[in-house]
Structure 1
Amino acid sequence: MSSAEKPLIGHLVIVGVGLIGGSVSLALKKAGVVGHVTGVGRNRDNLELAQRIGIVDAWTHDVGEAVRDADVVLLAVPMSAYASVFAAMAKTLPEHAVVTDAGSTKQSTIIAANKFLPGPERFIAAHPIAGTEKSGAGAAFAELYEKRLCVITPVGDSSATALALVMQLWEKTGSRVVTMDAAEHDDFLASVSHLPHLAAFALVNAVRRQKSEGHDPFCFAAGGFRDFTRIASSSPEMWRDIALSNRDALLGQLDAFQQELNGMREALLADDADRLLKEFSAAREAREAWLAKHGDGL
């Protein structure tokens, strides 16, 4: 981009400069489509690190002050913080500014935007399906979103201009952008993202509670346990907020999962080898078909 060209985003404000928000900034800077990036957060050390390694050009603790001349605002904060962040920016957000987010649930996000933002039609909810179990600015990297799916959930009165800009933003990070209904998104993510995290936390706790004076059960854990429970190293606070913000959809998925577990329990009680084999084989075939179609799950 030459010095005479105007960037896609003149001033980007990122509220929550961790793995997700930091990686967006690095990706957009790498693509040369952002002018100035301001970071907002509570942790001074994290913000100073973000500036030192080039994620942000400036930072502040004050959301309202940060967004005064923003062109785009990205929320990358815990779900429980949305209402307070929207409220804090409501009086100073410019009329032209577009707001988006990177949260894992969308219906609760849209409700909060409609309640607190002065121009909710300029809020375009988004969910980049990417991440690691690490957190903080130091975990961010520009390639996090490359070839990853980003789901955008516009509503009936969403601004067409805002939607186009948000779609471009996420495309410039390397994401494959799709749009869908917010409720449908929340149902799907409850099954393939939120439920696995609850299952991983539950399994680790089940094993933890088996500890005896003689033996630590974790001493016997190998690759299978490590692979299954990797996501249990994720932020407990973040996943608490996600679970509560998508409670209804997640409860339905927990019921479906419990039904599957009950079926396996019944097969074990009945010493029903055929039923176990049938269920295990069906699961294996479904997973192999998914991998064949989507590679590593992208």
Structure 2
Amino acid sequence: MQGNIFIIGLGLIGGSIALSIKKSYPDMKIIGYDVDHNTTHQAKILKVIDHEENNLQHGAENADFIIISIPVVETEKMIERLSHFQLRENVIVTDTASTKKSIINKASILTEKGICFIGGHPMAGSHKSGVTAAREHLFENAFYILSSVSKVSNGRINELKQLLKGTNAKFLELSADEHDEMTGILSHFPHIIAASLVGQARTYQDKYPLLSRLAAGGFRDITRIASSNPSMWSDITIRNKQVILGLLNEWNQDMENIRSMIEQEDYDGIFQFFIQAKTYRDELPVHTKGAIHSFYDLYVDVPDYPGVISEITGYLAEESISITNVRILETREDIYGVLRISFQNAEDRENAKKCLENRTSYELFIQ
């Protein structure tokens, strides 16, 4: 496979896609464009892209593949701009945004001109952002959703899959409606709930000054996704509003039912509420990536004494195992282990677990 790949948006996702393509097709020319020209230049220095392009029209009109990797609302605006260019006849245009229906609808201005547009959503991410965080293995074993209009041939979809084979992702073809509803259930709606839980805690902070310290354990973990980019999630929420509004209505009804059970001290009803949730949650896949990017944490049950962190991290450093974060937990309700170490991926976590099992007698937990 040969040709020019034009990537619009050189953040974590765009940069990681560029690296995965370079791995599979070193002879393909990867051209990068970003509204921040410093980012484009940095991507070139890091060898994420082969060439910098500061002229959007020039880059788009000379591309065989165009990958739009910017926020949802900006993606729609970019599609509008691309519709005014003289794109190559056989070009494939795709995106990486987290909602699909509004983008597929907007892309009709391209498809009506005979330009192939295939919506995409690689369901992977990282705690880090920007082109410096880009990794060629970011999407490995993650689901990569493809959505298109019915007139797009299987041949063209397979062509895009072939281009992206270096991601080692699991491709799924879904309609835009299916995609938005499922990601609404598993990703968009949970982000709202996590943010609301944090907001509720914040309202009590003045009354209970110790609240933030007590929240440092399990509460902080179950609300991690509330730390996601506010601008991005505002876009996603608005663009998937019908699905989210429907889920909110159902959620409100569920909460009313639970409220009623608590008021009536309905032990059996409350027990069923918790047992059904536990059963379904315990049956969810552990080692695969889903709609919300995974957290690769290892809990180590060590005594809290001076030097314990340097001891553990020293063992990992000797075996060149990288960590992204490490902390002693003060509040550990429902969490085993006083020390939590975070890793970039499952492989690093597994290597760390083996390392510490061989070097120490501490108990290790993956939750």
Q: TM-score, normalised by structure 2?
A: 0.74
Alignment of 1:18 with 2:7, yes or no, is no
2:306 matched residue in structure 1:
none
Give CA-to-partner distance per residue, 1:169-221, whole Å, 9 cap, x none: 33331111111221111111100011111111221122122221661521211
1:176-195 to 2 correspondence within 5 Å? Answer: 176-195=170-189
What is the DSSP-based 3-state SS (H/G/I as helix, E as strand, rest coil) of the residue aligned with 1:42? coil
Q: What one-letter code is carried by the residue in structure 2 that aligns with 1:39?
A: G
8 Å contact from structure 2 (residues 23, 166) kept in 1:
no
How far off its partner does 1:161 sit?
3.5
How far off its partner does 1:66 sit?
1.4
How far off its partner does 1:288 sit?
1.1
1:141-220 to 2 correspondence within 5 Å? Answer: 141-212=135-206, 215-220=209-214
Say which of 89, 93, 97 aligns to 2:82: 89
Q: Aligned residues, how many?
A: 289
Q: 1:35 to 1:170 in 2, by over 3 A?
A: closer
Aligned equivalents of 1:46, 1:266: Cα separation in 2: 54
1:100 matched residue in structure 2:
94
Q: Percent identity?
A: 30
1:36-47 to 2 correspondence within 5 Å? Answer: 36-47=29-40
Alignment of 1:71 with 2:64, yes or no, is yes
Root mean square deviation, CA, Å: 2.0
The structure with the larger Rg is 2
8 Å contact from structure 1 (residues 65, 92) kept in 2:
no
Aligned equivalents of 1:33, 1:98: Cα separation in 2: 20
8 Å contact from structure 2 (residues 24, 165) kept in 1:
no
Alignment of 1:295 with 2:270, yes or no, is no
2:231 matched residue in structure 1:
237
Aligned equivalents of 1:75, 1:120: Cα separation in 2: 18
Gaps of 5+ in 1: 1-7
How far off its partner does 1:162 sit?
2.3
Aligned equivalents of 2:98, 2:144: Cα separation in 1: 11
Aligned equivalents of 1:120, 1:206: Cα separation in 2: 50
1:3 matched residue in structure 2:
none
Alignment of 1:249 with 2:249, yes or no, is no
Give CA-to-partner distance per residue, 1:9-55, whole Å, 9 cap, x none: 42111111111111111111122366111111112332222222111
Aligned equivalents of 2:55, 2:202: Cα separation in 1: 41
Q: TM-score, normalised by structure 1?
A: 0.90
Q: 1:109 to 1:172 in 2, by over 3 A?
A: same
8 Å contact from structure 1 (residues 170, 177) kept in 2:
no
Aligned equivalents of 2:2, 2:199: Cα separation in 1: 45
How far off its partner does 1:77 sit?
0.8
Alignment of 1:266 with 2:251, yes or no, is no
Q: 1:169 to 1:265 in 2, by over 3 A?
A: farther
Q: 1:280 to 1:12 in 2, by over 3 A?
A: same
8 Å contact from structure 2 (residues 141, 288) kept in 1:
no
Gaps of 5+ in 2: 291-367
What is the DSSP-based 3-state SS (H/G/I as helix, E as strand, rest coil) of the residue aligned with 1:290? coil
Give CA-to-partner distance per residue, 1:125-177, whole Å, 9 cap, x none: 11111112432112211111101111111221114442121122333311111
Aligned equivalents of 2:24, 2:146: Cα separation in 1: 21
Aligned equivalents of 1:34, 1:270: Cα separation in 2: 69
Q: What one-letter code is carried by the residue in structure 1 that aligns with 2:138?
A: L
8 Å contact from structure 2 (residues 75, 97) kept in 1:
no
8 Å contact from structure 1 (residues 107, 182) kept in 2:
yes
Q: What one-letter code is carried by the residue in structure 2 that aligns with 1:110?
A: I
How far off its partner does 1:237 sit?
0.8
* Deviating 4+ runs (over 6 angstroms): none
8 Å contact from structure 1 (residues 133, 231) kept in 2:
no
1:223 matched residue in structure 2:
217
What is the DSSP-based 3-state SS (H/G/I as helix, E as strand, rest coil) of the residue aligned with 2:137? coil
How far off its partner does 1:60 sit?
3.1
Q: 1:120 to 1:136 in 2, by over 3 A?
A: farther
